[in-house]
Structure 1
Amino acid sequence: MEHSKKLGTFYGVGVGPGDPELLTLKAVRVLEACPVLAAPQTASGEMTALSIARQAADLEGKTLLPLYFTMSRDRAKQQEAHRAAADAVRPYLEAGQDVAMAILGDVSIFSTYCYLMDILKAEGFPCVMVPGVPSFCAVAARLGRSLTEANTPLHILPGGGEGPGETLDLPGSKILMKSGKNYPRILEELEQRDWLDRAGMVENCGLPGERVFSSLKEKPESSGYFTTIILP
């Protein structure tokens, strides 16, 4: 795809897991410099990533662009949502306006930005990733735990979908991200391995409704989407 005029840049900006003090100086600078701010919006109208960013950066006067993504596991529906979101961003880039897409946590970890980036980069639009504090690093800090020691591998596992399964038995530390929906099954698998006592969990880290559990021995109830379990 060829363009004869200056194009806008599509930025993916990691805003951290919830605490606005965890936004980087670069994230604040890019968000404040871009005239258009995009972010995922839930069915209830919430734009969590922008709500966090708004507490750390001056976002007055910006054009806000809500993006909608399906929670369906159907790959075709997911791709359709990604294309629709890229279609919403494209006109601003074609008009020479920079667009910053605010993303929870880090922009490279289970991030919707990367799907849009692949589409728009293939069309010739410049794309830049601005890293943020990953949610599991904030969770480890909240629990007061080290994730790795010398020569210890660290595995980041999706807690949703089919669940971690046999990957739980990989050597080293394990992070189970977005574990809320599969929590009962994960709890069962941890109990079978006698790991409940050493498993730590934080729900909604840095967000309203945060809950911290240094152990899962008492089998606390949990249903939050942003539930992260650490197995060091």
Structure 2
Amino acid sequence: MSGKLFGLGVGPGDPELLTIKALRLIKESDVIAVPGNVTQESVAYQIVKGVYPELDEKYLIPIPMPMTKDPAVLEENHNKAAQQVESFLREGKQVAFLTLGDPTVYSTYLYVHKRILEKGYEAEIVSGITSFCAVAARLNMGLVEMAEPLHVIPATYNAKNMDEVLKLPGTKVLMKTGRKMEQVRESIVNSGQKAVMIENCGMPDEKIYETAEAIPKQAGYYSLIIVKEQ
């Protein structure tokens, strides 16, 4: 009998935002797949470890996920990740794959999920708290009200068109800004809109920047910007 894969959203950083369901499935699973080259260095691992100290007693496997846009490299690594997971499913093991935030939002887990389903195995997505919802709550503000639209934008891929993106009505959530931070920041300042940014939300080294002008020209990978019309 084949095993089953669960893609678990572990939230944005604060261990207390891990859901009861995710924690239960982690405890019940035979194998815990952790994104990264070294399991103990993974942010997802550290989040779960914060509420489940016994995590190291589980069978942990690292799943390398390189930060690249090269389609060939991505395809190769996604296939390797699926093969790793499949080897345990063939043995009838239950595998929990940890992923930051929610697995349905820009998650590398989805590439593994699709491949496992194509191979005929069972796979289920378990929602986690998204980074932008956690950021809005941390800032004590709402994301949208009444008929306001919400736009979630991968900023790295849209940096060249950011001036046009910022003309969208409602609230803009800018994720994955990365190396384009300076360019994105300049566009926000020029737009005259209100913006706030959190780096490492819910983590010990969290930083909050309350205006567009305060946003640094460089920031870490786990940075998220919320832009609102004046």
Into which bin does the TM-score normalised by the smaller protein fall? over 0.9
2:112 aligned partner: 116
Once residues 152 and 218 of structure 1 are traced to their aligned partners in structure 2, the CA distance between those partners, rounded to angstroms, is 26
Matches within 5 A, 1:157-196: 157-163=153-159, 165=162, 166-195=164-193
Once residues 180 and 114 of structure 1 are traced to their aligned partners in structure 2, the CA distance between those partners, rounded to angstroms, is 21
1:138 aligned partner: 134
Aligned pairs, how many?
225
**Structure with the higher fraction of residues in helix conformation:** 2
1:3 aligned partner: none
C-alpha deviations, 1:6-38, integer Å up to 9, x for none?
111110000000100001110100111101000
Once residues 211 and 116 of structure 1 are traced to their aligned partners in structure 2, the CA distance between those partners, rounded to angstroms, is 32
Correspondence 1:48 to 2:43: yes
Q: Which stretch shows the higher mean deviation, 10-19 or 205-214?
A: 205-214
Correspondence 1:90 to 2:86: yes
Gaps of 5+ in 2: none
Q: Quote the offset at 1:44 in angstroms.
A: 9.9
**TM-score, structure 1 length as denominator?**
0.92
Q: Pick the aligned partner of 1:35 from 8, 11, 30.
A: 30
Are the structure 2 counterparts of residues 128 and 119 from structure 1 closer, same or farther at C-alpha, using a change threshold of 3 Å?
same
Partner amino acid, structure 1, of 2:224: T
Q: Quote the offset at 1:59 in angstroms.
A: 2.0
Conserved 8 A contact 1:140-1:147: yes
Conserved 8 A contact 2:9-2:101: yes
Q: Quote the offset at 1:171 in angstroms.
A: 1.2
Are the structure 2 counterparts of residues 44 and 98 from structure 1 closer, same or farther at C-alpha, using a change threshold of 3 Å?
closer
Correspondence 1:25 to 2:23: no
Partner amino acid, structure 2, of 1:71: M
Partner amino acid, structure 2, of 1:63: Y
2:206 aligned partner: 210
1:228 aligned partner: 224
Once residues 12 and 51 of structure 1 are traced to their aligned partners in structure 2, the CA distance between those partners, rounded to angstroms, is 17
Once residues 176 and 47 of structure 1 are traced to their aligned partners in structure 2, the CA distance between those partners, rounded to angstroms, is 23
Q: Quote the offset at 1:162 in angstroms.
A: 4.1
Q: Quote the offset at 1:145 in angstroms.
A: 1.4
Q: Secondary structure at the match of 1:202?
A: strand
Are the structure 2 counterparts of residues 44 and 24 from structure 1 closer, same or farther at C-alpha, using a change threshold of 3 Å?
closer
CA RMSD in angstroms comes to 1.7
Q: Which stretch shows the higher mean deviation, 213-222 or 169-178?
A: 213-222
Are the structure 2 counterparts of residues 124 and 40 from structure 1 closer, same or farther at C-alpha, using a change threshold of 3 Å?
same
Conserved 8 A contact 1:143-1:214: no
Once residues 132 and 98 of structure 1 are traced to their aligned partners in structure 2, the CA distance between those partners, rounded to angstroms, is 19
Q: Secondary structure at the match of 2:55?
A: coil
Are the structure 2 counterparts of residues 228 and 35 from structure 1 closer, same or farther at C-alpha, using a change threshold of 3 Å?
same
Q: Secondary structure at the match of 1:199?
A: strand
Are the structure 2 counterparts of residues 42 and 170 from structure 1 closer, same or farther at C-alpha, using a change threshold of 3 Å?
farther
**TM-score, structure 2 length as denominator?**
0.92
Once residues 82 and 30 of structure 1 are traced to their aligned partners in structure 2, the CA distance between those partners, rounded to angstroms, is 23
Conserved 8 A contact 2:197-2:215: no
Q: Quote the offset at 1:139 in angstroms.
A: 0.7
Once residues 44 and 209 of structure 1 are traced to their aligned partners in structure 2, the CA distance between those partners, rounded to angstroms, is 20
Once residues 107 and 215 of structure 2 are traced to their aligned partners in structure 1, the CA distance between those partners, rounded to angstroms, is 30
Once residues 12 and 207 of structure 1 are traced to their aligned partners in structure 2, the CA distance between those partners, rounded to angstroms, is 22
Partner amino acid, structure 1, of 2:152: I
